[in-house]
């Protein structure tokens, strides 16, 4: 298949995205009565796993309704499927093209710019275009085909002659009466009748459940008459509250019938009376299920802005005024007042007649931001994330589409919000890895925000206290405008960060393997002073870390420079990038000390130990094991903000943007857990997480204290956190990435194989490795520009019953990488089909496990 090459993903134009998709007739399509000459056709993405889009003609009766952004029912390989209209175009000949069967939506579900965006994504992530759109649109729209039966002439004539109580008569009469429905008999029985030519079975579409909630409203029909009646105080207004009743309706543009009957006990009677006289009329309209509820965290507008906020806003306004694509990176330390800047930027954009998207990494942060922005902007806000029900998502989508909303706040799926006049996209905590979707359509919402902003001609504002290496590098080379807010507001000092060397902790010196005497003492003092503590441990349940007791280093892969993963069951160490394998050893390869040892850590055990150690303290834990239950995260956060909890233990979740002024002590139990992660981003993640968690301390009037426990006090990711020195960390990390050729100095894709059989999956993985290297061998020059690592058993070698292997491909040239991925997909099809092993390609992968 011929494809347009990719440029740098973050700097590709919509024009290129458009032409990257091919158009043609679907396979195995017999020609239908084609008209001569030029004709308007529709380019449609079908919701089947194919890469191409297809052209269809429009029958007379549908031409008024067929518009870009509508769903259509189209014939495809002798079936009927849902399709999405992407483009109207004139074709010289419509020969061989089929007609669309139906248009499902009275109004388009997305604008053509959003259509370009979908196509760009499909192309970049090598995902079927119809499936991209299907997963972007709110659920509940998709149609499921059902088998419906229709009687033939022969069936109809037979029906008349059948005895009245025979089974066949019952069946055929039912079908005659219900031509669009699925007959309530086993299909086997129906097939028999079809064979005899009595009926035809057809696919019919069943409507998805979600749709707007329709309610009855009341409004005035004859405005003048009503005003006249009220002015006269006419005799006909007999009931006591009749004047008030009519005034209520007169003052409204339309009022819910339910609200009227609640307010007026004789409401129904009055409605009947006045609609009968033609003064009032009823109408049906959609209402929106508001998922917002009440404001949780109202926020007062500050009297004045700080200098750094004013300066930053000045730049942002300048960019917004230009009404064109402008990418900015706002590097603002925790507590520097970024949210206030976001809020003013949104207000400014709205003032210019444009709309905004604000993305945050967690659903619980959406709630926080929603409260903040509702108190500032009122109700022209929509929230959009996967935590909403299908109906709520649908309602929000329609509100946004209609332009009833100025700001959409959400997690990563908010990037699809169909705002008609999008002018600003803010990605808060842009470095956060939860912007990467790890299943199905594997996309990075932060990266896609760049693409969407470019397509829409919008300002992109990425914000972070610890920018990703990739974004900061873009700032350094001038692709992004770098804005910085280096100080905390009110000149609050950054917290002191102390490091405790866990290597120095002797066995039995402390009650717990996880809490050093220094941290224990600090916790006691903090409790006695009535202040709150946060303890951070980046591992749920229980985890073992294998490292040297003398130098603190873990053993790293000689090929890939990522940490080897310790496998307790086999007592071995493995590299999950290239497959390097080693037996565990006692002797340290770094310092020669004879004392490598496995340490155990986990949040659940930590919570348990704390409860035993400090029986008077109120301890709570927050990790995904706990917060899987709906509403649980909010409950814990509320309790903590009301000071009903003294010590909050948690994973990554507690490090994100919350503002708890009562927290004066933050403890990091084992910084090494993230350092020893088998991932080239381990250093970056460690720095980010430690900075974020430190930033939780001392946000109120009292100075904060941070204690970081680690086996590696000298590691640059830890020493630079102590000195709050992002720039030094960046320079060091950048140099390492450059040397090893990891992103942002190369592009990476992972190919993951998953199968039910252990041996079989391994075998397919090895064959795929051989095939991939053969492909590269056939490209004598360019082939050398791609590096293949593995295949290797994945760090999580078994997940949900599936055996897992992975292969990494790496290249400086992104178009070459895409070319290779498409080629691999093509050549492996047969192998995968016969073995039943699944292949998932992940472009710009984050999870290397
Ligand atoms: Zn050592
Ligand atoms: Zn390796």
DSSP characters for 564-615?
PEEETTTTEEE-TTT--EEE--SB-TTT--B-EEEEEE-HHHHHHHHHHH-T
Q: Is 304 exposed, middle or buried (0-12, 13-18, 19+ CB in 10 A)?
A: exposed
Report the separation in Å between the CA atom of 238 and the middle of ligand 2, taken as the mean of its atom positions: 89
Ligand in nearest proximity to the CA of 553: 1
- Cα distance between residue 837 and residue 74, in whole Å: 31
Question: Could you tell me the distance, in angstroms and rounded to a whole number, from the CA of residue 563 to the centre of ligand 2?
Answer: 9
Q: How far is the CA of 436 from the centre of ligand 2 (A)?
A: 24
Give the tokens for residue 20: 């990257």
- Residue 515 to residue 667: CA distance in whole angstroms: 9
List the one residue out of 460, 479, 471 whose CA is nearest residue 356.
460
Torsion of CA 576, 582, 585, 591, to 10 degrees: -70
Phi and psi at residue 665, to the nearest 5°: -130, 130
Q: Measure 575 CA to ligand 1 centroid, in angstroms.
A: 19
Find tokens 């926080």 and name the residue.
Answer: 368
Specify the 3-state DSSP secondary structure of 173: helix
Cis peptide before 744 (omega within 30 of 0): yes
Cα 537 to ligand 1 centroid, rounded to whole Å? 23
From first CA to last CA, the distance across the chain in angstroms is 32
Residues 377, 347: contact at Cβ < 8 Å? yes
Distance CA(455)–CA(415), nearest Å, equals 13
Q: Which helix (H) or strand (E) holds 767?
A: helix 758-777
Residues 383 and 409 sit within 8 Å (Cβ to Cβ): yes
Please tell me the distance from the alpha carbon of residue 386 to that of residue 741, in angstroms, as a whole number: 35
Q: Name residue, tokens 């659940």.
A: 604
Distance 660 CA to ligand 2 centre (A): 42
Cβ atoms < 10 Å from Cβ of 722 = 16
Phi, psi of 828 (to 5 degrees): -90, -10
How many whole angstroms separate alpha carbon 178 and alpha carbon 692?
62
472 contact partners, CB below 8 Å, separation of at least 6: 329, 331, 730
Please, are residues 358 and 428 in contact by the beta-carbon 8 Å criterion?
yes
Taking the C-alpha atoms of residue 98 and residue 93, their distance in angstroms, rounded to an integer, is 12
pLDDT score, position 674: 80
pLDDT tens per residue across span 251-304: 776 788 888 888 888 888 889 988 888 888 887 765 554 443 333 444 567 778
- Token pair belonging to 490: 């009110």
Q: Which ligand is nearest to the CA of 585?
A: 1
Ligand number nearest CA of 561 is: 2
Placement of tokens 């503590």 in the chain:
533
Distance CA 653, CA 364 (A): 10
Please provide the DSSP assignment of 192-216 as one string.
HHHHTTSEEEEEEEEPPS--PEEEE
User: Could you tell me which residues come within 8 angstroms of residue 48 by beta carbon, excluding any fewer than 6 positions away?
Assistant: 76, 81, 128, 130
Distance 806 CA to ligand 2 centre (A): 12
Q: How many CB atoms lie within 10 A of CB 484?
A: 16
Ligand 1 geometric centre to CA of 593 (Å)? 5
Whose atoms come closest to the Cα of 558: which ligand? 2
Report how far ligand 2's centroid is from the alpha carbon of 671 (Å).
Answer: 23
For residue 832, give every residue at least 6 positions away whose Cβ sits within 8 Å of its Cβ, in sequence order, or none: 764, 838, 839
Q: Residue 770 corresponds to which tokens in the numbers above?
A: 């051989």
Q: Is there a contact between 68 and 86 (Cβ–Cβ < 8 Å)?
A: yes
Q: Is 2 exposed, middle or buried (0-12, 13-18, 19+ CB in 10 A)?
A: exposed
Cα 97 from Cα 53, distance rounded (Å)? 13
Ligand 1 centroid to residue 595 C-alpha, Å: 8
How far is Cα 173 from Cα 151, in angstroms, rounded to an integer? 9
Ligand nearest to the CA of 562: 2
Give the number of whichever ligand sits closest to the CA of residue 587: 1
What confidence score (pLDDT) does residue 208 get?
Answer: 45
Find the 690 Cα to ligand 1 centroid distance in Å: 24
How far away, in angstroms, is 577 Cα from ligand 1 center?
23
pLDDT tens for 387-396 read 787 778 888 8
Cα angle: 133, vertex 138, 141; to 5 degrees: 85
How remote is the CA of residue 600 from the centroid of ligand 2, in Å? 24
Rounded distance from Cα 593 to ligand 2 centre (Å):
23
Measured in Å, residue 672 CA sits from the centre of ligand 2 at: 19
**Cis bond before residue 791 (omega within 30° of 0):** yes
Find the radius of gyration of the CA atoms of the chain.
Answer: 32
User: How far does residue 574's CA lie from ligand 1's centre (Å)?
Assistant: 18
Q: Residue 140's pLDDT is what?
A: 60
Strands in 153-308 per DSSP E: 199-206, 213-220, 255-256, 280-287
Residue 509 in tokens: 């010196």
CB 149 within 8 A of CB 199: yes
Residue 844: phi and psi, rounded to 5, are 55, 60
Residue ranges of the chain with per-residue pLDDT less than 50? 1-35, 143, 207-212, 289-298
What distance in angstroms lies between residue 587's CA and the mean position of ligand 1's atoms? 8
Between the CA of 823 and the centroid of ligand 2 the distance, in Å, is: 25
Using the mean position of ligand 2's atoms as its centre, give its distance from the Cα of residue 564 in Å: 8
H runs (alpha helix) in 336-379 = 338-351, 363-377
Q: How far is CA 204 from CA 82, 420, 639, in A?
A: 11, 33, 52
And the tokens for 664? 């004066």
Q: Which residues pair with 525 in a beta bridge?
A: none
Ligand that lies nearest to the alpha carbon of residue 848, given by its number in the listed order: 2
Diameter of the chain by CA atoms?
Answer: 104
Give the per-residue pLDDT at 675: 82
Cβ neighbours for 497, distance < 8 A, ≥ 6 positions apart? 694, 706, 708, 721, 722, 724
Q: How far is the CA of 578 from the centre of ligand 2 (A)?
A: 4
Ligand 1 midpoint to CA 220 (Å): 84
805 alpha carbon – ligand 2 mean position (Å): 14
Which of 135, 139, 137 is CA-nearest to residue 441?
A: 135
Query: 383 and 310 in contact (C-beta within 8 Å)?
Result: no
């Amino acid at each position: 298949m011929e494809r347009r090459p990719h440029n740098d993903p973050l700097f590709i134009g919509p024009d290129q995205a458009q032409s990257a998709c091919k158009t043609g007739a679907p396979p195995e399509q017999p020609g239908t009565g084609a008209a001569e000459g030029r004709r308007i056709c529709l380019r449609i993405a079908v919701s089947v796993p194919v890469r191409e889009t297809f052209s269809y003609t429009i029958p007379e009766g549908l031409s008024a309704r067929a518009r870009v952004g509508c769903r259509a029912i189209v014939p495809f390989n002798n079936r009927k499927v849902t399709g999405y209209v992407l483009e109207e175009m004139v074709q010289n000949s419509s020969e061989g093209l089929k007609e669309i069967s139906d248009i499902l939506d009275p109004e388009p579900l997305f604008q053509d710019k959003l259509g370009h965006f979908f196509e760009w994504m499909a192309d970049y992530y090598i995902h079927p275009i119809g499936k991209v759109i299907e997963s972007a649109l709110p659920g509940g729209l998709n149609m499921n085909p059902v088998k419906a039966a229709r009687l033939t002439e022969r069936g109809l004539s037979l029906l008349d002659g059948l005895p009245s109580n025979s089974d066949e008569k019952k069946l055929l009469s039912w079908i005659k009466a219900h031509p669009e429905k699925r007959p309530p008999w086993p299909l086997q029985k129906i097939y028999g009748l079809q064979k005899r030519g009595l009926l035809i079975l057809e696919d019919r579409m069943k409507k998805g459940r979600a749709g707007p909630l329709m309610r009855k409203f009341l409004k005035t029909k004859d405005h003048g008459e009503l005003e006249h009646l009220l002015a006269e105080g006419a005799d006909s207004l007999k009931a006591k509250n009749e004047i008030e009743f009519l005034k209520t309706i007169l003052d409204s543009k339309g009022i819910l019938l339910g609200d009227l009957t609640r307010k007026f006990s004789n409401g129904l009677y009055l409605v009947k009376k006045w609609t009968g006289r033609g003064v009032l009329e009823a109408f049906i309209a959609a209402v929106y299920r508001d998922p917002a509820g009440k404001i949780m965290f109202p926020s007062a507008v500050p009297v004045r802005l700080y200098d750094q906020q004013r300066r930053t806003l000045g730049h942002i306004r300048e960019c917004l005024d230009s009404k064109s694509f402008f990418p900015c990176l706002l590097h603002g330390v925790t507590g520097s007042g970024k949210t206030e800047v976001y809020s003013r930027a949104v207000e400014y954009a709205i003032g210019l007649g444009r709309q905004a998207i604000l993305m945050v990494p967690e659903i619980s942060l959406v709630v926080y931001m929603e409260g903040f922005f509702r108190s500032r902007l009122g109700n022209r806000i929509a929230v959009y994330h996967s935590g909403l029900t299908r109906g709520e998502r649908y309602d929000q989508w329609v509100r946004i589409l209609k332009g009833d909303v100025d700001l959409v706040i959400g997690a990563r799926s908010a990037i699809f919000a169909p705002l008609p006049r999008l002018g600003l996209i803010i990605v808060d905590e842009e470095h956060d890895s939860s912007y990467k979707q790890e299943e199905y359509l594997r996309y990075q919402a932060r990266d896609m925000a760049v693409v969407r902003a470019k397509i829409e001609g919008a300002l992109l504002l990425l914000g972070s206290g610890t920018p990703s290496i990739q974004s900061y590098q873009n700032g350094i080379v001038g692709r992004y405008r770098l804005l910085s807010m280096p100080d905390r507001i009110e000149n609050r000092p950054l917290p002191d960060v102390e490091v405790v060397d866990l290597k120095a902790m002797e066995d039995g010196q402390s009650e717990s393997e996880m809490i050093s005497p220094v941290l224990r003492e600090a916790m006691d003092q903090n409790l006695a002073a009535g202040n709150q503590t946060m303890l951070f441990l980046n591992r749920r349940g229980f985890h073992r870390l294998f490292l040297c007791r003398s130098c603190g280093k873990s053993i790293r892969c000689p090929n890939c420079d990522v940490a080897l993963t310790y496998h307790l069951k086999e007592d071995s160490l493995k590299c999950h990038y290239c497959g390097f394998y080693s037996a565990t050893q006692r002797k340290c390869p770094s310092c020669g000390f004879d004392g490598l040892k496995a340490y155990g850590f986990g949040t659940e055990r930590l919570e348990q130990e704390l409860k035993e150690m400090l029986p008077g303290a109120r301890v709570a834990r927050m990790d995904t094991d706990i917060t899987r239950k709906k509403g649980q995260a909010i409950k814990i956060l509320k309790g903590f903000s009301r000071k009903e909890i003294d010590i909050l233990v948690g994973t990554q979740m507690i490090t994100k943007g919350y503002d708890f002024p009562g927290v004066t002590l933050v403890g990091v139990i084992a910084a090494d857990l993230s350092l020893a992660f088998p991932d080239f981003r381990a250093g970056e993640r460690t720095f980010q997480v430690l900075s974020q968690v430190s930033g939780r301390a001392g946000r109120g009037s009292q100075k904060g204290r941070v204690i970081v426990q680690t086996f590696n006090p000298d590691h640059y990711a830890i020493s630079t956190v102590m000195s709050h020195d992002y720039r030094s960390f960046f320079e060091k990390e950048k140099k390492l990435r450059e040397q090893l050729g990891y992103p942002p100095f190369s592009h990476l894709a992972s190919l993951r194989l998953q199968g039910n059989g252990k041996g079989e999956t391994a075998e397919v993985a090895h064959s795929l490795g051989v095939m991939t290297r053969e492909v590269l061998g056939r490209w004598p020059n360019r082939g050398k520009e791609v590096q293949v690592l593995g295949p290797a058993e994945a760090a999580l070698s078994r997940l949900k019953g599936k055996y897992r292997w992975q292969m990494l491909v790496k290249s400086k040239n992104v178009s070459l990488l895409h070319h290779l991925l498409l080629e691999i997909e093509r050549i492996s099809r047969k192998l995968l089909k016969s073995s039943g092993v699944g292949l998932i390609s992940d472009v710009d992968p984050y999870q290397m496990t």
